[in-house]
Amino acid sequence: MALPADGISSLLIDGKLVPGGAGTFATINPATEEVLGEAADADAADMDRAIDAARRAFDDTDWSRNTALRVRCVRQLRDVLLKHVDELREMTIAEAGAPRMLTAGAQLEGPVNDLGFAADTAENYSWTEDLGQAAPLGIPTRRTIVREAVGVVGAITPWNFPHQINLAKLGPALAAGNTVVLKPAPDTPWCAAAVGQLIAEHTDIPPGVVNIVTGTDHRLGAILAKDPRVDMISFTGSTATGRAVMADAAATVKKVFLELGGKSAFLVLDDADLGAACSVAAFSACLHAGQGCAITTRLVVPRARYDEAVAAAAGVMGSIKAGDPAKPDTVCGPLISARQRDRVQGYLDLAVAEGGTFACGGGRPDDQPAGYFIAPTVIAGLTNESRVAREEIFGPVLTVLAHDGDDDAVRIANDSPYGLSGTVYGGDPQRAAAVAARLRVGTVNVNGGVWYSADMPFGGYKQSGNGREMGIAGFEEYLEIKSIATSAN
């Protein structure tokens, strides 16, 4: 598969690569603002056909019962993606603005290799559990618990980590026996369409098992969420859109998994190496231009050393230049779109209105006249009550807040509608771990630990969503439980 000069302008529906009913739309390089090429633009009829194909593939074939076939197909998908990983890398850099250095990890090769975990899990999973014989209500009964696929899964995904999120849904959903309709974000259609092309041309995944529907019409996601033929929605995106997805799915009471926004806190305790901790926080906030839901964007430091912490963070962030994601040393690439760049700039303007100041950054870099860039920015002088400290910005922006001891640091961290991630740095590991245990979040990094891994569940508390992705817990999101009671007379 070579990246076509004019794009990948096909949907995958019922095993066939087909044009979009609404024609095509342009996909843009966010680093240059230039048109890369065309992608297939689906209409409502395309989505209807995709759902119908997934429904028939689940109901009328043995896909959900043939574990050996599923395991083989998921491993095939992993292998063919790895075979074409260099082409996919260039596509991801160009379309998503992903820095090259990140594609070896969570932006590409990490999630591709993680498909092996999904296949291994299905191959070794205990699909049935024998509870033995008992006599409930005095009736001798043999009891069995069976775990089986939910059915048709509608997957709706965002643009920031397209391969990671698309494959984190496709892998376990398919390995568990479901069929899937994937609706990716219109900002990164090629990343999904390329997977569809490889599935159609290089795997034994049966027709209708995977359907990939790219398009600019945001109503396509609502169609998927509302359709009674769809048994489950797996959604990753903003909390506001997640609420709409949950409301749409409620009409048919379908199962809903939501991985939503975050405003995660990086707590620096008073016995930590302040300079080292603030450097880590600043570097992390710049990765992929801050476009990650679990990035820690509130740096919470001891009040007595606040100015020192601001200077340390600004020293690092001010030295990181937003630039060409294709270069091997770029950490902070562009934001995904003009709309998103304007949104982030709006929050920077709000920070000034709320009484904050910029220790570095604050707008478009002077050396980037084109592209959707924002300079890495440190905001000082605000409290946790400010909108800038409470709302998800999704840009390379770090707000520094002051705390008055461990209890106050925990209070600030938990004083948020979100609960996705968090970090604690402290000199005493036991003390740091005790603080981490009090955070109401789904993932915690203590003194530099890494929670991103195929076997670790990921998800959040509160308005950061419900359910878990990845790990055994993520695999089991795509299963139903059936209890079977057989007379033992």
Please give the structure tokens belonging to residue 439. 């955070």
- Backbone Cα Rg of the chain: 23
Please give the structure tokens belonging to residue 412. 């600030």
The whole-angstrom distance between residue 465's C-alpha and the CA centroid of its chain comes to 12
In angstroms, the first-to-last Cα distance of the chain is: 60
Q: What's the CA gap between 258 and 243, in Å, rounded?
A: 9
Tally the residues of the chain. 489
Please give the structure tokens belonging to residue 196. 């569809």
Give the count of beta carbons closer than 10 Å to the beta carbon of residue 381.
19
Q: Under a CB-based contact definition with an 8 Å cutoff, are residues 452 and 168 in contact?
A: no
φ/ψ (deg, to 5) at 166: -60, -45
Which residues sit opposite 143 in a β-bridge?
Answer: 132, 485
Please give the structure tokens belonging to residue 199. 């599935």
Q: Which active-site residues does the annotation give?
A: 259
Look-up: residue for tokens 């740095």?
425
Q: What's the CA gap between 294 and 236, in Å, rounded?
A: 12
What stretch of H or E contains 379?
Answer: strand 377-380
Which residues sit opposite 183 in a β-bridge?
Answer: 156
Look-up: residue for tokens 């992608």?
39
Please give the structure tokens belonging to residue 279. 């450097």
Q: What's the CA gap between 79 and 115, in Å, rounded?
A: 9
Which residues sit opposite 182 in a β-bridge?
Answer: 155, 212
Q: Is 470 exposed, middle or buried (0-12, 13-18, 19+ CB in 10 A)?
A: buried
DSSP secondary structure code for residue 95 in this structure:
H
> What separation in angstroms does the CA of 52 have from each of 151, 159, 176?
12, 26, 20
Q: Is 139 exposed, middle or buried (0-12, 13-18, 19+ CB in 10 A)?
A: exposed
123 closest CA partner among 171, 86, 70: 70
Spatial neighbors of 375 by CB under 8 A, at least 6 apart, are 321, 322, 360, 361, 362, 363, 364, 365, 396
| Sign of the dihedral through C-alpha 461, 466, 470, 474 | positive
Please give the structure tokens belonging to residue 473. 């817990």
Report the amino acid identity of residue 179. Answer: T
Q: What's the CA gap between 65 and 81, in Å, rounded?
A: 25
